[in-house]
Chains A and B, each alone.
Chain A
């Protein structure tokens, strides 16, 4: 579904050159919930943003649903992006629009008629469980509710792929869990392929079937979640797992469970 070949990207700042991606190869299969993990600065967000070309790679190719995105012109890319949903850490809803109008936005720009939009918005709102807030503005919603609206908006044009850039990183654990359940349900019921960037291993454990570990712009380990986390081979994956279990044991200990 998503094929990334030898992707390279260097950011040039006045102070230095930062190589964010140093030749990344990645394959996300149809129906996967694919986790991309790594420490801060490992290039995981850049990788995700290269998939729908929010970031333009210096070299390499990205193939999405059989089309090479890196070869498309501006207009074709716009059309392709309508079939790729994306959600963000800070939601990025339109403050000027009600929940209803936010969900309707991608349908409006795709030129869909008002009656069809109304029907579709209703379906999406009940899918993400936000029906009673349709006339509220984003300013009136909690973080979890905003992310639900963002998910509905991302799914409006029935995309085949959903890109998730740290979508749960600004949410509390309970809300995170409910959003992850929602993503899992959507993946199962609609066959939606999800590529998900996170620095929280628990998120990957909870929803992903496959995972890639990124360090310094390279994929150092990839495979099924159970295999990678059960028996991490790369130093980066080992460190991630060690930190995550370290936290967990610490928590058990304070609860008295460690005694």
Chain B
């Protein structure tokens, strides 16, 4: 029983650590990509079909790789940056790289939801690319961005389970090594239950924050 709870506690801790940090690092890369994809599109602050298309292709390529393959391909990068390919910290490198293109598309979608009229008004006032992103797109798209972040964090959580197959640790790894390979049904059930709790918690938090922002702005959907 003692070993059971120690395993789960460690797994939970690793999963939460990987999920939060990989989401955060992924967003540091993906969000600016999404912003560039948006403002280089037609009739925007930095219209440039060439950059837009090039970046779009790169993002699509990143998203085309099967997750497990991309994680394996990026293991040498982990060794270079972290010094090892095992454990949750080493997993951060492939996880965040895997998430970045997805996050770019999610944030691009949020930015493109901002009413075209507002963009035009901003352009008519002489808004440059930098102000367009920081003062118009991000604040106006904030509720969508928060909902998108919910989606991103939950997807990252799912990805940590896959990374668990190849030595990342966390709840996914527990489910495979104990639940599946050692026939420990109790551990399998417990990890799945914990994952369900995590997903539910993340979703509820995201909804709550998005609704709070909407209410503050007196926008009711």
Contact = CB atoms under 8 A, between A and B. Distances in A.
B142 interface: yes
B117 to A, nearest CB: 4
A140 B218 contact: yes
Nearest to B136: A94
A97 B218 CA distance: 11
Nearest to A140: B218
Contact of B142 (A77, A96, A139): A96
A177 interface: no
A229 interface: no
A80 interface: yes
A147 B118 CA distance: 14
Contacts of A86: 121, 124-125
Given A94-B139, A97-B139, A139 B128 contact: no
Interface in B99-118: 115, 117-118
A50 to B, nearest CB: 12
B123 A81 contact: yes
Contacts of B217: 95-96, 137-139
Nearest to A109: B131
- Please tell me the size bucket of the interface on B: 20 to 34
A75 B140 CA distance: 24
A95 B139 CA distance: 9
Contacts of A93: 118, 121
Contacts, number: 70
Contact of A92 (B117, B142, B216): B117
A106 B219 contact: no
B124 A52 contact: yes
Contacts of A140: 218
A55 to B, nearest CB: 9
Interface string A163-185: 10000000000000000000000
Contacts of A109: 125-128, 131, 135
B126 A139 contact: no
A137 B218 CA distance: 7
Contacts of B115: 92
Given A105-B135, A109-B128, A137-B217, A95 B140 contact: yes
Interface in A77-103: 77-82, 84, 86, 88, 90, 92-97
A241 to B, nearest CB: 31
Contacts of B121: 86, 88, 92-93
B128 A81 contact: no
A157 B126 CA distance: 11
Interface string B148-175: 0000000000000000000000000000
B120 interface: yes
A54 interface: yes
Nearest to A136: B218
Contact of A84 (B120, B124, B127, B218): B124
A54 B45 CA distance: 11
A247 B217 CA distance: 40
A96 B117 CA distance: 15
B126 A105 contact: no
A135 B40 CA distance: 34
22 contacts: A77-B126, A78-B127, A81-B124, A81-B125, A86-B121, A86-B124, A92-B117, A92-B121, A93-B118, A94-B139, A105-B135, A109-B125, A110-B126, A137-B216, A137-B217, A138-B217, A139-B217, A139-B218, A139-B219, A140-B218, A153-B125, A163-B124
Lowest 9 A-B CB distances belong to which pairs?
A: A139-B218, A96-B139, A92-B121, A81-B126, A82-B126, A92-B117, A86-B124, A78-B126, A109-B131
Interface of B: 115, 117-118, 120-121, 123-128, 131, 135-136, 139-140, 142, 216-219
Interface of A: 52, 54, 75, 77-82, 84, 86, 88, 90, 92-97, 105-106, 108-110, 137-140, 153-154, 157, 163
Given A82-B125, A94-B118, 16 more contacts: A54-B124, A77-B126, A78-B127, A86-B125, A94-B136, A94-B139, A94-B140, A95-B217, A96-B139, A97-B139, A108-B131, A109-B131, A110-B126, A137-B216, A139-B218, A157-B125
